[in-house]
Amino acid sequence: MKQLALTLAPPPEPSLGNFYPGRNVELMAALRGLADGISAERFFYLWGEPGSGRSHLLRAMAGALSARNVVTVYAGEGSALPPVDAVPRALVVDDVDKLQPSGLAAFFNLYNSVREKQGIVIAAGSQPPAKLAMRPDLVTRLGWGLVYQVHALGDDEKIAALKRHASARAFDLPDGVAEYLLRHLRRDLPSLMTMLDALDQHSLETKRPITLPLLRELLQADAPDDGKMPPQAGP
């Protein structure tokens, strides 16, 4: 079958609104309070395994604060902090455990400056503060505020998130299709959402309802020229 040329809209920017909370309801409430400017808490540290959504939440918070005209400095994926001319109102740093020594020193100094100015610091890493292999004075600072584990979604929660996404696009997602997506494709939620968008588009183009045979047809059509299916995740 001829390979499909799927033209998908770029994924939406991370926001608190497009994050499925799962077991992170308390964390989401705390972040919304900060984003809306009604929380007295100014220091947050989030930790969780890859794919848990902590990076989504940090990018979402950086965007939400900037939208309120809060001067925000963001650094992600272990990248060095960008040079700043003045102390920002908010400092958002992802993957602090991947920062190089020079980056850690810059983070430490900027953290102190933001704190002195009564600003906001949101940071994230793969481990709770006590287990981070970095300078003790920085570990102490990361534990000063609220510390939350970001819990990854289980399969049932991912299916619920997919169904909610499908409902927002005005179609029903059969259980069998959702389960097949989880068994045969990458299991992180952004990848699953992207495939669901592709399936919806294929359904509209072919004027056929979304079913398991339609999904299999899409996957086969989008497979490499050697006829092999795309790489699968999990059993």
Same domain, 132 and 38: yes
Q: What is the pLDDT of residues 124-162, one digit of tens each?
A: 999 999 999 999 999 999 999 999 999 999 999 999 999
Q: Does residue 233 sit within a domain?
A: no
Q: Which of 117, 149, 181 is the last residue of a domain?
A: 149
**What pLDDT does residue 223 have?**
61
pLDDT, the chain, mean = 88
Q: For position 165, which CATH number holds?
A: 1.10.8.60
Same domain, 43 and 141: yes
Same domain, 115 and 60: yes
Q: Which of 128, 149, 170 is the last residue of a domain?
A: 149
Banded model confidence at residue 234, pLDDT cuts 50, 70, 90: very low
Q: Does residue 14 sit within a domain?
A: no
Q: Does residue 235 sit within a domain?
A: no
CB neighbour list of residue 219: distance below 8 Å, 6 or more residues apart:
184, 229, 230
Same domain, 75 and 116: yes
Q: What is the pLDDT of residues 64-97, one digit of tens each?
A: 999 999 999 999 987 888 888 889 999 999 999 9
Q: What is the pLDDT of residues 31-46, one digit of tens each?
A: 999 999 999 999 999 9
Q: For position 127, which CATH number holds?
A: 3.40.50.300
Same domain, 60 and 76: yes
Contact predicate 35/16, CB 8 Å: yes
Same domain, 33 and 111: yes
Query: Is pLDDT above 90 for 28?
Result: yes
Same domain, 107 and 43: yes
Same domain, 44 and 144: yes
Same domain, 65 and 171: no
Q: Which of 127, 149, 171 is the last residue of a domain?
A: 149
**What pLDDT does residue 187 have?**
81
**What pLDDT does residue 222 have?**
65
Same domain, 56 and 138: yes
Same domain, 159 and 95: no
- Percent of the chain predicted with pLDDT > 90: 71
**What pLDDT does residue 106 have?**
92
Higher pLDDT residue, 80 or 111?
A: 111
- For the entire predicted model, the pTM comes to 0.82
Same domain, 133 and 174: no
Q: How far is CA 30 from CA 11, 39, 44, 95, 104, in A?
A: 25, 8, 9, 20, 26
Q: Does residue 7 sit within a domain?
A: no
Mean pLDDT across the stretch 155-177? 93
Tally of domains within the chain: 2
- Percent of the chain predicted with pLDDT > 70: 89
- Residues spanned by the domain of 181: 155-221
**What pLDDT does residue 12 have?**
74
